[in-house]
Amino acid sequence: MPDLRHIAILGGGPAGLSAAWKLADNGYRVTVLEANDYLGGLAATHSFEGKAGTYRFDFGGHRFLTKNPELLTFVESLMGDDLMHAERSSVIRYRGRTYDYPLALGNLLRNAPPGLLLGAGIDLLGKLINPPRLRESDDDISFADWIEARFGTTLYRHFFEGYTGKLWGIDPRQLSGDWAAQRISLIDLRDVAQRLLRRADNTPRTYARHYRYPKHGFGMIFDRLAALIGELGGEVLTRASVTGLRAEDGQVRAVRFDQDGQARDMAVDAVISSLPLPDMVKMLGGQSSLGFRALRFFNMPLAGPDISPHTWQYLSDPDILATRLQEPRRRSPFMTPEGHTSAMLEIPCQEKDNLWRMSETELQPRVHADLERLGVAAGRATGEYFSSYAAHAYPLMALGYHRERQANLDFLGQFRNLQMCGRQGTFRYIFTDTAMEMGLLAARSLLEDKDYRHDIYNHRNEKTVIEVQSVA
Ligand SMILES: Cc1cc2nc3c(=O)[nH]c(=O)nc-3n(C[C@H](O)[C@H](O)[C@H](O)COP(=O)(O)OP(=O)(O)OC[C@H]3O[C@@H](n4cnc5c(N)ncnc54)[C@H](O)[C@@H]3O)c2cc1C
């Protein structure tokens, strides 16, 4: 029997679309409200028509990874032959040198200047003589302390401090160690040594080398998912920006949104939201001090062959604007026209700050100078620049953020028919697969009439790096 209740799904990214699909597939009436004029959220792909043909850019190249075989099978069935296998190769660029990412001892010994090696050696020796007490994560340990305790001050200063400060816009001593704990699976010095020596298969890894990627960009997955929701009778509205919620007796009764300049109210029986957690709290009358770090993606078509064999180049120098240089063709050759390539620079900023607002023409000389420094001939640029923007790219995990996050989730907990999910919605640094699983879990909660909110908010909160068990 189809359920005739009307479920509002706020946000048309991976979490919202997954929830909507599951409910529509079970006969529910769903309406997805998405503020952008495209679907997929941070996991979308933009196309750009250049003189030589179509160029495609993700919001920072995405890889599909999951340790959930059922989710992989679902995505495979959705994509068919369009889901390719890809392999990642990443490097760190710092002070004119190129290092393996993640760091490996042999490579460091070959490439690093003697001063750096001496400093790192003394640090590590000191740690062997007087081992620090390490914990996987501690709510009040800073990123800087977490890394220094494991790698020592010299490696921290060279490879982590500048990059992290640039990415987050705050001193890494003010950033929570949670970010490191979720990115780097190093628990003790034995792990650090194994990591650096890169021995045996059980070496702790910080990333999966193999991943899956759709032929025409990551966003293809979510375009297909949205089409499927439509076929199942679900309603998917774009350019529909949620501006308010009306609640009564501990339940959300209506959602207010603007579509094409017109305010509309929609009566609802339940809400699944992947909107930013602080926005939801404020729309329901609470307070929140949680914030996000934004990214501007400076995308540029280039004439001629590939610029490098690397998927990602991490740019550690603080005076280079971007944190990463990517070449979309390294993920799929279909991302650029034949005989052409493209570059994408991820530039961290704040929404509407100077870097966000500068025109391509203003930014271009600076970007060209940086590219030349990195050995990419900027003269190959076709002059067809194009930027994309993510205002909520990273939940800002400042020291102590978890207390505010919990208070925000507790506040929303009073609304019995509201479930938060996804990256911005639960204020967690998660990948697409986890966001999709959260959406599916929120849908299951309605199908089974059980409260899974606690499970969703802590879903895949293991203290191990998500990537290392990928089955993709
Ligand atoms: C640079 C970068 C690289 C990444 N690389 C990878 C990767 O390689 N692999 C991977 O798996 N994941 C990666 N991720 C993470 C991935 O993008 C996210 O985990 C995923 O998109 C989260 O999905 P979501 O639905 O929770 O949130 P989002 O994708 O953020 O979707 C939320 C949606 O809500 C909408 N919204 C917000 N406010 C409103 C409003 N008021 N009204 C209506 N709609 C609103 C937004 O427009 C957005 O579409 C990366 C992220 C970034 C930033």
Indicate the residue type of 7.
Answer: I
CB of 300 within 8 A of CB of 342?
yes
Distance 153 CA to ligand 1 centre (A): 34
Residue 239 confidence (pLDDT) above 60: yes
- The model's pLDDT over 281-296, given as tens digits with 9 standing for 90+, comes to 999 999 999 999 999 9
Q: Are strands 97-100 and 90-94 parallel, antiparallel or unpaired?
A: antiparallel
Sign of the alpha-carbon torsion through 420, 425, 427, 428: positive
Residue 23 confidence (pLDDT) above 90: yes
Helix or strand or coil: residue 65?
coil
Q: Is the CB of 340 under 6 A from ligand 1?
A: no
pLDDT of 187: 54
Single out the residue of 34, 42, 10, 28 nearest to residue 423, CA to CA.
42
Residue nearest to atom 3 of ligand 1 (CA): 60
Residue 211 confidence (pLDDT) above 70: yes
Distance 351 CA to ligand 1 centre (A): 16
CB of 20 within 8 A of CB of 230?
no
Please compute, for residue 174, the number of CA atoms within 13 A of its CA located in the half-sphere on the CB side: 7
Percent share of the chain, pLDDT over 90: 76
Whole-number Cα distances in Å, 304 to 213, 326, 368, 369, 379: 23, 16, 17, 19, 11
Domains (range + CATH), the chain: 6-83+216-290+399-469 (3.40.50.720), 103-197 (1.10.3110)
CB of 347 within 8 A of CB of 231?
no
Distance 466 CA to ligand 1 centre (A): 17
| The two structure tokens encoding residue 108 | 């460091």
Distance 354 CA to ligand 1 centre (A): 23
Average pLDDT over residues 232-246: 98
DSSP-derived letter for residue 443 is H
Residue 231 confidence (pLDDT) above 60: yes
Pocket test for ligand 1, best of 34, 42, 331 (most atoms within 8 A of CB): 42
| The two structure tokens encoding residue 155 | 């490696």
Q: Is the CB of 277 under 6 A from ligand 1?
A: no
Q: Please, which pLDDT band fits residue 206 given cuts at 50, 70 and 90?
A: low
Alpha-carbon gap, residue 415 to 283, rounded angstroms: 13
Residue 207 confidence (pLDDT) above 60: no
Which of 466 and 153 is assigned the larger pLDDT?
A: 153
Count of C-beta atoms within a 10 Å radius of residue 275: 23
Q: Is the CB of 16 under 6 A from ligand 1?
A: yes
Percent share of the chain, pLDDT over 70: 90
Q: Please, which pLDDT band fits residue 203 given cuts at 50, 70 and 90?
A: very low
Q: Is the CB of 33 under 6 A from ligand 1?
A: yes
pLDDT of 173: 95
Residue nearest to atom 48 of ligand 1 (CA): 41
Pocket test for ligand 1, best of 432, 437, 456, 466 (most atoms within 8 A of CB): 432
Residue 55 is inside which H or E element, if any? strand 53-58
Q: Please, which pLDDT band fits residue 56 given cuts at 50, 70 and 90?
A: very high
Residue 332 confidence (pLDDT) above 50: yes
Alpha-carbon gap, residue 423 to 430, rounded angstroms: 6
Alpha-carbon gap, residue 263 to 284, rounded angstroms: 18
Q: Is the CB of 55 under 6 A from ligand 1?
A: no
In whole numbers, what is the pLDDT of the chain averaged over residues?
91
Alpha-carbon gap, residue 137 to 101, rounded angstroms: 22
Q: Which residue in this structure is represented by tokens 């540029």? A: 300
pLDDT of 200: 44
Give the strand order in the sheet containing 97-100.
97-100, 90-94, 312-315, 324-326, 340-349, 292-303, 386-395
Residue nearest to atom 14 of ligand 1 (CA): 431
Q: What pTM value is reported for the model?
A: 0.94
Alpha-carbon gap, residue 181 to 138, rounded angstroms: 9
Single out the residue of 297, 307, 272 nearest to residue 386, CA to CA.
297
Q: Which residues lie across from 273 on neighbouring strands?
A: 10, 420
pLDDT of 204: 47
Residue 188 confidence (pLDDT) above 70: no
Alpha-carbon gap, residue 144 to 160, rounded angstroms: 8
- The model's pLDDT over 81-129, given as tens digits with 9 standing for 90+, comes to 999 998 888 899 999 999 988 777 888 889 999 999 999 889 888 888 8
Average pLDDT over residues 260-267: 94
